Amino acid sequence: MKLKLHVWRQKGPNAPGKLETYEANHVSPDQSFLEMLDEVNEVLVKEGKDPIAFDHDCREGICGMCSQIINGMAHGGQDRTTVCQLHMRSFKDGDEIFIEPWKAKAFPIIKDLAVDRGNYDRIIQAGGYTSCHTGGVADGNALLIGKEIADYSMDAAECIGCGACAASCPNSSAMLFASNKVAQLAVLPQGQVEAKRRVVAMLDEATACGFGNCTNHYECQAACPKGINVKFIAKLNREYLKALLP
Amino acid sequence: MILDGKCPTGPIETSWDRHRFDTKLVNPANKRKYKVLVVGTGLAGGAAAAPLGELGYNVEAFCYQDSARRAHSIAAQGGINAAKAYPNDGDSIYRLFYDTIKGGDFRAREADVWRLSQVSNNIIDQCVAQGVPFARDYAGYLDNRSFGGAQVSRTFYARGQTGQQLLLGAYSALSRQVKAGTVKLFVRREMLDLVVVDGVARGITCRNLCTGEIETYWGDAVVLATGGYVNVFYLSTNAMGCSVTATWKAAKKGAYFANPCYTQIHPTCIPQTGEHQSKLTLMSESLRNDGRCWVPKKKEDCEKPAGQIAEEDRDYYLERKYPSFGNLAPRDIASRAAKEQCDDERGVGPGKRGVYLDFKDSINRLGQATIAERYGNLFEMYEKITDENGYKQPMRIYPAPHYSMGGLWVDYNCMSNVPGLFVLGEANFSVHGANRLGASALMQGLADGYFVIPYTVGGYLATVKPGQVKTDHAEFKKSVEDVNADIKKLLSINGKKTPSELHRELGKVMWNNVGMARSKESLTEALKLIPKIREEFWNNVKVTGVGEEFNQQLENAGRLADFLEFGELLAKDALNREESCGGHFRTEHQYDDGEAKRDDENFCYAAAWEFKGAGKEPELHKEPLKFDNVHLAVRSYK
Amino acid sequence: MQLTQSSVGRKIIMAVTGAMLFAFVCVHLLGNSSLFFGSAALNAYAQKLHSLGPVVWIFRLVMLGLFTVHIIFGIQLTLENKAATPDKNVQIKRLKTGFAAETMVVSGLVLLAFVVYHLLHFTVRVTNPEIYVPIEGGHGMVDVFVMVTHGFQQILPVLLYVIGMGFLFLHVSHGFQSLFQTVGLSNDRTLPVMGNFSKLVGLVLLVGYVSIPLLIIFGIVR
């Protein structure tokens, strides 16, 4: 099939960007979206033009590197799907596709579709861990954790840190990202010790990074390729209230 | 030269404890004077950088991705082994040790494997303390599942995302040290050279992938944890950015590359659909617990839909060949069997490179709900990629390159033959022998990182003065010049073929000649073809843009340049090893029934190759393997 | 202070003040509905309120405080959110959120304007002085029933009230469920139903409030 692509091109962080139009003329429905872009790039390279820069790595939906707004939706809007798992069979011959980068103050553009997500790392560095030293810890079964608790924690822990939550949020809020780490650790006995300090530190860091405030649009959950539930944001809010108490 | 692994002698049960005691220590106040560079932030690198920072060393950690959380360890699905023996099923450190040695077809070092088995238990405790949400039972105890190559349940797991959860645990420990200021993180940096001064590793040269700037970093020790090299096959289950570059650059600076021919081809991957394909996707081998592998008996049936092929016209080849293990034969054996059927022109699907994995009988026996509960996410993944419903028609699978057991040669301390250069995880060659068992890769990465390197790096640093060589040394300047010259050359060729086209060509040669089955003819042919592609690459590659920018074409071209040199070594090693063992199968060396025939008399050694220049004959160094605690036996799964 | 500095802290302030304002809106509607029981009922209700004396003024100050805090933090959060999204994508397709949620600051500011008008209309009595007549034997008190029924016999005030209540509906339809989420009182069972329930609450307020001017202008209540 043939497609018309409108792709955001931007030379560098401070350069102006604009949409440019490309044609993809030999698209197979079995191709993944990124393989389609690979082919467009092969043509551009052969013509001596600058290929489209985009982040990608594992191409199986787990590393969280791929990050594109496709037709106005993070990761293309398909349920629980990253860009790399999107296949061209979900498009039709003659479709026009808009491909843009994450856009948020806290995700500055590096080039074209590649953005800097270092601020997500900063949020984790602020407190997204248990402060245990390597070695000298208790036996894994020393503290029992009920299956429901372990499952809840795992539901939260599935986050791949791709940035779709903040990118799809009308306020560029990173609350779903921060909340799943807060929730994952807050329910485990190993994480409860530092729960109060953690939630405050991570929230303050998110604000300092330039992410917006959550106003409960729930776009993040719809965009999340792992389907992480906004109930974890409510959990974060509860944890925050607990942290305010002496 | 005969290499010495410097393994402790005496009873193996106490070897690691004695070695730890014998290893020198660095005074706590002196630790902050030393700087350690860690390249790669996956399970091994992340797990090494964090405790080194905790101990008080100055650590600088590097990764090519945009965050330390994205290393390809994250894609591991199944689980991690440990000899906890929680299920009371007869497991022990000795049994894990034995299974790993046997699974590796007796081509690994005993002492290293023992240590791995011993610290496996600490790993689970450490991860639990970090908040890794392992699967638990209703009483709150850690849950176990079984995996290939073992008769006990020793695999700990977190749904189908164990690798992800363990990596995020290491990443969180690393993040804590970044906050504490002991670890400095450098993301989007690709190591392009190892700086060696007077035979000692002193630092690295990196390209900043955002700006294109060439940067140098000095360290009193350099730790490489940069993963495996199976992207040399172009199509593999590895991430797109996985490459041999860091280890190969080290090899070019004198580090020996050991057993490059040991590559693991994983049997349950989704087959290729066309030329456009950029990578292959793996589905957990646990699928073989309930799926039956078959191909049509008659060639003419291959085009028919699976449902129209009568039961008596189906060849359940694994059950036929291995009646006792059946569909649960180890990875290397199952992969080879699938290839045999396709070579016999009885493959199915596009290009007839595929076999069926059929769940019909299991669904009839257990119901679709049970199957969905066990493997739902895999069926979903299969449908996303192929648009076929695995419940209604059999899945199509085909083997794909997955893991490399070979890697840089290291001694018992995980130090290469270049003093100061340590190598961890998949990047080294040490514990998996010729074949890796499921759920062992995660175990090795974390064992090397959390529990081995903090001791052995200290032992090395205690013998050297801190900060002897810094980046103002002439070797660093020369390294930057060399790297810049390479980049300039790549950009100046301006030929007709893109790096991907040439990588695909290399991949085809590697897969067809140095893949699942190798012969003298195929290897000799590969050794003729690879230099040709390399020559074409250096004369006809087209790399757009400039060096001083975010330039993914340049990154790919640089990685391919290294694969083109390394691929030749891989083929050479395969040609040298005149036996079949584990993932290395030479068609000349098999029993009458097609099983691998090992030659313990002549090849019971690790082959460590010294680079002597591109296109020049590398020199082979041997490290003889001694087996004092297990009996060398023929691996049989019949 | 942590509460006023942090993102979630300020949201909790928004939620709590919002909840109080919402409670007032509900009670106000219940009080107003005494209109349907006739002139005597409404005037009795009004007299009762007036007889509270200083309590009324304390109540008014509290309301003013709540309003001020709610508005100031609301505007601050909105400005921060705008600052976090300096460039927008060319194409934006929202999957879950709606018009009401995206226009909270607009509906909020329109409601502020409406409240000002409402106070001028019925409390400070400057917009339509002609509707005030003293109540018989009421020691100078205004006949509230006459004030309301006369006040809503003109098109313009009715139109303004209907518009104002339309925005109240929008504001509440997002705000009501939002406050539960913000104070942490939602989970995966409540979340799917709260969106619609919130709209229903907004609708009840809308119908309740606009019924008064509409029933009056169409002559059903007189």
Q: What angle do CA A192, A196, A200 make, to 5 degrees?
A: 135
B469 in A contact zone (CB under 8 Å): no
A16 in C contact zone (CB under 8 Å): no
What is the amino acid identity at position A140?
G
Q: What is the DSSP string of B289-355?
A: GT-EEEEESSGGGTTS-GGGS-GGGEE-HHHHH-TTTGGG--HHHHHHHHHHHHHTT---SGGG--E
Kindly state the average pLDDT of the residues B575-601. Answer: 94
* Close Cβ partners of C92 (under 8 Å, ≥ 6 residues apart): A72
- Which CB contacts under 8 angstroms, 24+ apart, belong to B28-34? B28/B56, B30/B466, B31/B55, B31/B56, B31/B57, B32/B56, B32/B57, B32/B58, B33/B466, B33/B467, B34/B58, B34/B220, B34/B221, B34/B461, B34/B466, B34/B467
With a cut of 80, say whether residue C139 has pLDDT above it. no
Asked if residue B426 belongs to a domain, the reply is no
CB-closest option in C93, C102, C186 to A234: C186
Kindly state the average pLDDT of the residues B529-538. Answer: 98
pLDDT of residue B378: 87
Kindly state the average pLDDT of the residues A50-79. Answer: 97
Residue C51, both tokens: 């007889």
Instruction: Report chain A's mean pLDDT, rounded to a whole number.
Output: 97
* Shortest alpha-carbon distance between residue A174 and chain C (Å): 11
pLDDT of residue B326: 84
CATH number, span A3-111: 3.10.20.30
With a cut of 80, say whether residue C18 has pLDDT above it. yes
* A 60-119 residues inside an 8 A Cβ radius of C: 69, 71-73, 77, 98, 100, 103-106
Contact B72 A57 (CB under 8 A): yes
With a cut of 80, say whether residue B595 has pLDDT above it. yes
Beta-strand relationship, B263-269 and B395-404: antiparallel
Q: Alpha-carbon distance A200 to A197, whole Å?
A: 6
How large is the C-alpha radius of gyration of chain A? 20
Q: Alpha-carbon distance A157 to A179, whole Å?
A: 10
Kindly state the average pLDDT of the residues A129-145. Answer: 96
Contact A140 B84 (CB under 8 A): yes
pLDDT of residue C158: 96
Share of chain C above pLDDT 70, in %: 99
For chain A, how many residues are written? 246
Asked if residue B348 belongs to a domain, the reply is yes
Contact B158 A188 (CB under 8 A): no
With a cut of 80, say whether residue C138 has pLDDT above it. no
Q: Where are the beta strands (DSSP E) in B83-233?
A: 155-156, 183-186, 189-197, 200-208, 214-218, 221-224
Share of chain B above pLDDT 90, in %: 88
What is the amino acid identity at position A237?
N
Q: Which residues of C touch A103 (CB under 8 A)?
A: 85, 87-89
Q: Alpha-carbon distance B570 to A158, whole Å?
A: 37
Express each pLDDT in C23-82 by its tens digit: 999 999 999 999 999 999 999 999 898 888 899 999 999 999 999 999 999 999 999 999
Contact C89 A218 (CB under 8 A): no
Closest CA to B341 of B299, B292, B401: B299
CATH number, span C2-86+97-217: 1.20.1300
pLDDT of residue B634: 85
* Close Cβ partners of B279 (under 8 Å, ≥ 6 residues apart): A59, A60, B235, B236, B237, B238, B239, B240
Closest CA to B75 of B188, B236, B274, B261: B236
Asked if residue B42 belongs to a domain, the reply is no
Closest CA to A128 of A62, A194, A209: A194
- Tell me which residue range forms the domain holding B325: 265-402
The burial class, CB within 10 Å (0-12 / 13-18 / 19+), for C141 is middle
Best B240, B243, B546 member to test A by mutation, with max A CBs in 10 Å, is B240
Residue B289, both tokens: 């617990």
* Shortest alpha-carbon distance between residue A194 and chain B (Å): 12
* Shortest alpha-carbon distance between residue B154 and chain A (Å): 14
List the domain boundaries for chain C: 2-86+97-217
pLDDT of residue B281: 94
φ, ψ for residue B411, nearest 5 deg:
-90, -170
A41 in C contact zone (CB under 8 Å): no
Residue C102, both tokens: 């995206």
Q: Which residues of A touch B277 (CB under 8 A)?
A: 35
Contact C85 A244 (CB under 8 A): no
Q: Which residues of B are catalytic?
A: 331
pLDDT of residue B331: 85
pLDDT of residue B142: 97
Of the listed ranges B62-66, B352-356, B570-574, the one predicted with least confidence: B352-356
* Shortest alpha-carbon distance between residue C207 and chain A (Å): 25
Q: Which residues of C touch A171 (CB under 8 A)?
A: 81, 84-85
Express each pLDDT in A180-194 by its tens digit: 999 999 999 999 999
Best C16, C78, C91, C180 member to test A by mutation, with max A CBs in 10 Å, is C91
Class of domain A118-244: mainly alpha
* Shortest alpha-carbon distance between residue A62 and chain C (Å): 23
- Which CB contacts under 8 angstroms, 24+ apart, belong to B343-350? B345/B299, B345/B302, B346/B295, B346/B296, B346/B297, B346/B298, B346/B299, B346/B302, B346/B315, B347/B295, B347/B302, B347/B398, B348/B295, B348/B296, B348/B302, B348/B306, B348/B396, B349/B271, B349/B396, B350/B271, B350/B272, B350/B273, B350/B274
* Shortest alpha-carbon distance between residue A211 and chain C (Å): 6
CATH code of the domain covering residue B370: 3.90.700.10
* Close Cβ partners of B15 (under 8 Å, ≥ 6 residues apart): B7, B8, B9, B111, B114, B115
Contact B384 A85 (CB under 8 A): yes
Whether the Cβ atoms of residue A230 and residue A221 lie closer than 8 Å to each other: yes
List the domain boundaries for chain A: 3-111, 118-244
C70 in A contact zone (CB under 8 Å): no
Question: Closest chain C residue to A217 measured between Cα atoms?
Answer: C97
Q: Give the residue carrying structure tokens 């000899």.
A: B83
Residue B404, both tokens: 């490399």
Q: Which residues of A touch B237 (CB under 8 A)?
A: 60
Higher pLDDT, B273 or A36: A36
What is the amino acid identity at position B228?
G
With a cut of 70, say whether residue B31 has pLDDT above it. yes
Question: Closest chain B residue to A109 measured between Cα atoms?
Answer: B210
Whole-prediction pTM: 0.96
With a cut of 90, say whether residue C140 has pLDDT above it. no
What is the amino acid identity at position C100?
A
C174 in A contact zone (CB under 8 Å): yes
Residue B630, both tokens: 């297990």
* A 193-232 residues inside an 8 A Cβ radius of C: 200, 203-204, 206-207, 210-219, 221-223, 229-231
Count: domains in chain B = 1
Neighboring chains of A (3 or more beta-carbon pairs < 8 A): B, C
Best C85, C179, C198 member to test A by mutation, with max A CBs in 10 Å, is C85
Distance of CA C35 to the CA centre of its chain: 19
Express each pLDDT in B360-384 by its tens digit: 999 999 999 988 877 888 898 899 9
Q: Alpha-carbon distance B574 to C132, whole Å?
A: 103
ipTM score for this prediction? 0.98
With a cut of 90, say whether residue B289 has pLDDT above it. no
* Shortest alpha-carbon distance between residue A74 and chain B (Å): 18
Q: Alpha-carbon distance B175 to B41, whole Å?
A: 11
pLDDT of residue B377: 82
Kindly state the average pLDDT of the residues B566-579. Answer: 98
Kindly state the average pLDDT of the residues B572-592. Answer: 96
B74 in A contact zone (CB under 8 Å): yes
* A 117-176 residues inside an 8 A Cβ radius of C: 168, 170-173, 175
Asked if residue B98 belongs to a domain, the reply is no
Model confidence at A234, pLDDT cuts 50, 70, 90, reads very high
Model confidence at B150, pLDDT cuts 50, 70, 90, reads confident
Kindly state the average pLDDT of the residues B479-491. Answer: 98
Asked if residue B188 belongs to a domain, the reply is no
CB-closest option in B129, B168, B237 to A132: B129
What is the amino acid identity at position B305?
P
Contact B276 A146 (CB under 8 A): no
β-pair partners for B622: B2, B607
pLDDT of residue C1: 59
Whether the Cβ atoms of residue B58 and residue B35 lie closer than 8 Å to each other: yes
Whether the Cβ atoms of residue B357 and residue B398 lie closer than 8 Å to each other: no
Chain A / chain C CB contacts < 8 angstroms? 139
Whether the Cβ atoms of residue B523 and residue B571 lie closer than 8 Å to each other: yes
pLDDT of residue B322: 87
β-pair partners for B355: B397
Whether the Cβ atoms of residue A177 and residue A159 lie closer than 8 Å to each other: yes
Q: Which residues of B touch A121 (CB under 8 A)?
A: 67-69, 175, 178, 185, 187
